[in-house]
Every structure is written in structure tokens, then in C-alpha cells.
Amino acid sequence: MSQTLPTAETAAVPNSSGITVIIVGLGIAGLTTAVECHRRGHSVIGFEKREDHHQLGDLVGLGANGMNVLSRWDKSMRPALDAIRAVISSIDYYDSGGELKGSLPYASDDLLNVHVVQRSGLIDLLYGKARDRGIDLRFGVRVCDYWESEGNAGIVLENGHKVAADCVIAADGVHSKATGIFTGEDVAPYSTGAAIYRSHFDARAIRDDPEANWILNSTAQADNVNMYFGKDTTLLVGTVGKGKYVSWNMPHKQVKGLSNSWLQPADPQRVMEFVKDWPIGQKLTAILSKTPPQRCWNHSILARYPLSTWVSKGGRMIVIGDAAHPMHPNLAQGANLAIEDAAVVAICLELCGKENVPIGLRVMEKLRHKRVSVVQAAAIKAMERQFDANWDTDQVQGKPTYIPRPAWLLRHDCVGHTYDEYQSAALAVANGSEYIPTNAPLNGVYDDVPEPA
């Protein structure tokens, strides 16, 4: 009887690969990896130091490249994601005087758009899909160390207990302990000299305030998203769920004394100080002042130079998502690239088989490293352009309204690509030869073919 080969459009029989995977960190990257690995026939054990899956936060971008992964899970995924996204007809750009400087039309069916979804809603959805599959997810468990041998790898828990598997996938974020252990590199993130205030709250907090509820105008048809550019800062104010929620964020450069905690509570009064002298300041502070207690956060924006490797010396441990490639928020690709990582690592393990796990993880790295490194560099440049806010430049790419939307990034199907490219990359791993990636510009130029602003 001939063996049925795996394909991009089919899922494997549960636990059919014989591979057991440990996942450390159960945020967007980790939960997606758990489901993707289960879909590819692997047995999964997930660990998370938080007591449960709930996470605060505001918004993340989800593009077609991320949706290419999630929409394959089942028919309920797209309507479930629609329920937690902003319904946007345009993004409007203003200067600090309130003058409209540009508007970016936002067609919902445009594959080059990145949809805005609630971070907490996305994590709830991913967790629900993992739970429904019966995946072993363990919360409130702290991983203290890692180990690997020729035949397996594993973790050491706080109580000294060891858990073994065929491989370990660490998705434990920008402050990952695993990254330094796996790679042997100095992986301390550096400060970009910037930070960001963020908030997301129920619109009922402003609905009855005539000074603040202007942002809810016309939201029965579509959400409002307005971005205001000032000196060394911008303020984005918008709605989600057709006016059900209000969300705002402000990148800034006052980083002295600021901790790196992603959810460090902050006083929105500090944000109001930034905009109080803007001609449109009073209109904006009316909204900012209604931010509920404990719904404003401020944290440093950190970066890390691309690692030379994501895979451990023995080849049985790998870092993904922010643990491998922390991403500035300006291009809204951090979540998408983490989701891509999850799909690719699961498929590589499926195609390599239990006897060749180290090859599978090294193939995953070859398929992903160039692609995410190009986006990492471009996100830094995008942040710098946003801070400069040069409205007078003759160069389209220099204007604050310019949002590069390259098709190579946003229309990429990482699932089909992995099945197509696995053998070529595996041959390069086996022979120690060069693998030329086909999912990123070889010259490293993110927006080689600019889209109009």
C-alpha cells in the first residue's frame, strides 16, 4: 500500500508522527505552534509561567500571511477573527494642528492590508482551539533550564523535575532565557531609545461624554483610525468592533528610568502632557482622560540584532517568534511572523520524521532566517520615519503616510512554500551548502517595489 504524502491542505492523524514536542511560552507564537504541531501529527506538551492563558494588551496586526495559516484550521476561524477585528474603511493622517495630511483607503478584501485585531481576543481564540484539541497545556509552571542529548531534549522545572521530548521549541518572548542557552550568543536586547504608551478599553467609558465621543461618530458603518504626528511622537486613536472599544497608542522618546516590562502600568496624564500644546490637543485629551484605571501601559521598545542561529548545538532545540526575532510594531508583522514560524516548524518536523529531528529544525531556520531579518531591519527604519514626520519631502518613501506593503511579505503562503522548499533546504543542511531563500528579497531591501502612499 502506498503511503499518503502530507500536503498543505490536509492535516495528519493526531499523534501519528511519533514526535513529542515541548513548547515553552504560550502566547501567540506558542499557542499557534501547539495547534500546528498537533495538526501535523505531533504530541505536544506546553508550559507557561503565567497562571492562565489570559493576557492584557491592546492590538496586533494580522495580515494575509498570518491568515494563510490560521484559516486552514477550520471554517470557524475567519468569522471568529472578524468578530475581534477593527472594521476599517481608511486610516487618516493628521499633523498636530489637526489638518488632514493624507488618507489610506482600506479595502477589507485587499491582501496587502493588515487587519487590526484585539490581542487578548486572538490569544483567547488560539487557546480555545488548542483546548478543543485536547493539547496538554500546563500553566503556572516555571522552566528553569534546558538540556539535550543525541536522542532527545528537555526542560528542567522549578521543582527540579525533568521533562523529555524529541525537541524543545521556545516561544518565550523578547526576554527569553532559552535564546542565550540555545544559541550561545549574547542575546540581551538593546533599547532603541523609544518607548510606547498603549491602551485599549470599552467605549462605554466615553460614550456619554460629548467632548470625547467624537471618535465614535459613524462607527455603525466602520471603525475610525486616526494618526496624529507631532515632534518625536505620534498618537494613534481609533475604535475596534464598530465602536465597541477604543484603542490608542503613543510611541515616544522619554525612556529614562523606564523598565522593560511589557505591561508596566502608566498614568495617561503623562500622555496628555505630550499633546496639551498641540492645536488639536484638547480634542485628544478628552479621550485620553477617560482611560480607565489600570488600562494604560508604557514600555521600552527593544530590539536585537539578527541572531546567527536559532537552533541549539545538538539540533533539538529552537527559538521562534520574539525569542528569535523581536520586532518593532511599526510594520504590524510581529504576530504574523510568529504565526508563520509556528506553521513552518511543525511542517518541517512532519517532513523530517522522528529519526531526523535536528535536520528538520535546521531546515526551519534556513527557510525563515533571511525573511524575518529583512523585516526586522525595515521595522526599525519605519519607526525612525514616523518620528521624523517630514511632510515636506518630495520622496514618497520619506513621508509619514508611506506604509510599504510588499507582496513578497503579505501574500506569502508559508505553508505551501515549506512543502515546496523543504527538500532543497534539507539538501543544503545535509551537504553544508548554501540555501538561497525564495521568500524574501536577496538584496535585503524590504520595499524594493514601493506601493503608493
3-state secondary structure of 263: coil
8 Å CB contact between 248 and 236: yes
Q: Which of 450, 152, 160, 169 is nearest to 323 (CA)?
A: 169
Share of the chain above pLDDT 70, in %: 93
pTM: predicted TM-score of the whole model, two decimal places: 0.92
Distance (Å, whole) CA 446 – CA 372:
10
- In the chain the first and final C-alpha atoms are separated, in Å, by 56
In tens, the pLDDT along 136-151 reads: 999 999 999 999 999 9
Question: Is position 228 annotated as part of the catalytic site?
Answer: yes
Cell of 20: 513529542
Q: State mean pLDDT over 115-130.
A: 94
- Of 198, 304, 316, 362, which is the active-site residue? 198
pLDDT band for position 259 (50/70/90)? Answer: low
330 φψ region: left (φ > 0), alpha (ψ -120 to 50), beta (else)? alpha
Q: Which of 258, 255, 249 is nearest to 198 (CA)?
A: 249
Q: State mean pLDDT over 351-371.
A: 98
In tens, the pLDDT along 290-345 reads: 999 989 999 888 878 889 999 999 999 999 999 999 988 888 899 999 999 999 99
- Of 94, 146, 228, 446, which is the active-site residue? 228
In tens, the pLDDT along 375-407 reads: 998 888 877 777 766 677 777 666 676 777 899
Q: Does 451 have pLDDT greater than 80? A: no
Q: Which of 145, 207, 132 is nearest to 177 (CA)?
A: 145
511632510: which residue's cell?
Answer: 391
pLDDT band for position 190 (50/70/90)? Answer: confident
Q: Which of 58, 32, 122, 61 is nearest to 327 (CA)?
A: 61
Which amino acid, residue 209?
D
Question: What pLDDT is attached to residue 452?
Answer: 38
Read off the DSSP letter of residue 421: H
Q: Which of 250, 256, 246 is nearest to 270 (CA)?
A: 250
In tens, the pLDDT along 4-61 reads: 667 777 788 988 999 999 999 999 999 999 999 999 999 999 999 999 998 777 789 9
Question: Is position 198 annotated as part of the catalytic site?
Answer: yes
List the beta bridge partners of residue 141: none
Question: What pLDDT is attached to residue 449?
Answer: 46
Q: Does 357 have pLDDT greater than 90? A: yes
Distance (Å, whole) CA 154 – CA 116:
36
